[in-house]
Amino acid sequence: MEKSQVDFNTLIGRGGEADIYAVYNRPDLAAKIYRKLPSDDDVRKFTFMVANPPIDSSAKNGRVSIAWLLELVTESGRVIGFAMSRLDLKITKEIFNYYIPATRRQQFPLFSYFALLRTAQNLSRAVRSIHSRRYVIGDINESNFLVAEDAIITLVDTDSFQFNDGITTHRCPMGKPEYTPPELQGFNFRDVNRLVEHDLFGLGVLIFQLLMEGTHPFDGVFTGQGESPEIKDRIKSGHFPHGKRSIPYKPKPLISFQMLPIALQELFLLCFEEGHRNPAARPTAEMWVNTLGEFENNLTKCSVNEQHFYSNHLSSCPWCVRTAKLGRDPFPSEAAVKSGQHLKLPTVVKSIAPNTYQSTPTKLTPKPSARTTVAPSPKIISSPQSTTRQIQSNTSTLQPSKKKPNHINFISFLIRKKWLIAGSSAILLVIAQIASQVYDYSQYGYFHVGYPLLLPMKLVSSFSLENAFYAHSKSVHGIAVSPDGETLVSGSEDETIKIWNLKTGNLLRTLSGGSNSSIAISPDGKTLVSGSHDIKVWNLQSGKLIYTIDTGNRWAKAVISPDGKFLVGVTLQGYDGSTMLKVWNLQTGQLIRNVIDINQI
C-alpha cells in the first residue's frame, strides 16, 4: 500500500510511536504510520508478520479476533507503517469493562455470566491460535483484548508480539506486573525471551477475572503482620489464596472459588500454585477451551432470574445470594434493565435467612458446539443511558441541560456556600439550598471502594435544581470546588479535565488526562490532582502538569490531606479486589509508604 492511499485527514487514534489513520475507499482497514521511520529490524519484523498470519477463527463469520498486520505501507519504497483491520470502537470495549460489575451494570447490563464464560472461551481460542504459529503475546493485560456485546474477542497491539524470524528474536518490551508470572517479576522485558508458559499465566489471570467478578486471583485478605504486600509481590511468592498451601491470606468473602466446577478449580491450581514451582505445568490455551466448554454445557439457568447462570454442581443460585448480600444484582433481569431498576441505589440486606434464595434449577437448552457468540437481546441492545450521552462538548460555557438525569454518579459538597454539585452522565448539576442538617453518611456505606459514594435520593429530593450543565461528552466521574468557591473542576470518562468559573459558568481551561475517576484540589487552591489509570498533579492556575505517578493499575483515586502536605491514593485490582492505599509527598511526589489493604478495615 502506498502512502497516498492513507487518509491523513481522518485520525483514528494515537500511540506512543505512531498514529492510526483511515484508508481511502477501504473502510475495513486502518493504517498505522510511525512518526519516525521504522528501523531495519522493525521492517523485517513487519514483513515476517504480514507473510505469516495466525488463523483467525472469526474470519469465516466476517469478524476479526486478531487485529493482525495485513500489508506494509510504503513511501518511495521505504516502509513507514502497516495496514491492519479497522475495528469499530463503538461496539468493542476493553475486556475489563465487562468483568468489573459496576462498569458492566452501566454499559452492558444484559451481559450475563453465560456471556462472560463465552468470552473466556473466545479469549482462549485467540491465544491458542497465536501460540499455534509460534508467536508469544508477551504483554497480556486487561487493555489488549477488546470485547463486543456478543462476546467476540479481538486481540490488539499485535505488532508487539515476540517471535523469531530465523535471524532475530523480536522481543516484547512491555508487560504489566499483575499479569506477569512470578519468574519474570522485576525483570526488564527488553532483556527477556518470553515463553508460551509466561503467556499462560496472564491468560489464567484474565479467565479468573472474567469468572470471578473482576477479582484478581492473588487478591485476598492479608492475615499476616505488617503492611499488606502488593499483588506483584504476592504473585512472586506464589500466594494463591484459593490454593492448598498455608499462606498469610484468606479468600475474599463475597464470591466463592467453590462456585466454579471442580475441573476449572483444578486448572487454576495448576496455573497459580503448581505453576509457581513448575511453569510448564500451567494449562495450555487448548485445555482452557475444552474445560470452559464443558462448564458451558453444564450450566444451569436460575428460575428466579433468567440472566443468572451457574454450574450444575451447586444446589442453588449463587447470584441470588450475592444479590441479597450486596443489595444489587450483578446480572439484572431484562425487566429490571428496561425499568432502570439496575441503576438505582442498592439496598443492603445485612442478614439473609437460610434458604431464602433457593431456586429450582432449570437446565439450559444444549447449544451447537460450533457456536462462538452470545446472541444479543433483540429488545435491548445497549445501555439505557446511551441516548442521553450524545452530547457536544465544544462549547466555551456551561450550557443548561433540558434533560433530567436518571441517576447521580458523583456528588461533592461545598458546605460554606450551601451548594451540592453532582455528576450524572455528561451533565453537571449545581443544586442550591442544601439543608443545614449534617447527615451521617457512614450508615449508607461505600458499596464499591473507589467509586463515588451514592446517597439515597430521599436525601436530595427536597433540593431545588438551580442549574444543570452539559459539560462533557461522556460520564462525569470526578468534581471538586476550590476553597474560595470560585472554581469548579470536572473530570470525565471523555478523558478531559475542565476548569470552570463557578460564578459565570465560563470554561477557563481544558486538560487531557485519562478517564479521571477522581478530582481533588489542595487547601491553598494551587494544586489539582486527578486520578485515572495513573495519578496526575497539576498547577491549577496555569494548567501545567507537574508530575505523574504510575500506579500500575487502571483504577486509581486520590485525595489531598487537609494540611496540603500529603497525597493519598487508592488503586483497585477489581470489584472485590485488593485495594492498596499509598501516601506520597504532594510537593515532591515521593512515595512515603503503602498503608493498608482497605478490605481489612
Q: Which residues are the active-site residues?
A: 139
Grid cell, residue 172, equals: 516484547
Grid cell, residue 419, equals: 451548594
Distance CA 94, CA 309 (A): 23
The pairs formed by 550-558 with CB atoms below 8 angstroms and a separation of 24 or more are: 551/582, 552/176, 552/177, 552/178, 552/232, 553/178, 554/96, 554/142, 554/143, 555/450, 555/517, 556/517, 556/518, 556/531, 556/532, 557/450, 557/517, 557/518, 557/531, 558/518, 558/520, 558/529, 558/530, 558/531
Residue 286 sits at the vertex; the CA angle it makes with 285 and 287, to the nearest 5 degrees, is 90
3-state SS, one letter per residue, for 153-214 = EEECCHHHCEEECCCCEECCCCCCHHHCCHHHCCCCHHHCCCCHHHHHHHHHHHHHHHHCCC
Decide: 446 and 452 in contact? Cβ < 8 Å.
no
Decide: 490 and 428 in contact? Cβ < 8 Å.
yes
Q: Is 116 helix (H, G, I), strand (E, B) or coil?
A: helix
Q: Residue with C-alpha cell 487531557?
A: 512
- For β-strands 92-94 and 78-85, DSSP reports them as unpaired
CA 326 to the chain's CA centroid? 21
Residue type, 202: G
| Cβ-based neighbours of 38, under 8 Å, separated by 6 or more | 46, 79, 80, 81
Residue 570 sits at the vertex; the CA angle it makes with 344 and 232, to the nearest 5 degrees, is 120
Grid cell, residue 524, equals: 491553598
- For β-strands 507-512 and 518-521, DSSP reports them as unpaired
Find, among 437, 429, 433, 430, the residue nearest to 418 by Cα: 433
Instruction: Kindly report the number of other CB atoms within 10 A of residue 568's CB atom.
Output: 18
| Cβ-based neighbours of 387, under 8 Å, separated by 6 or more | none
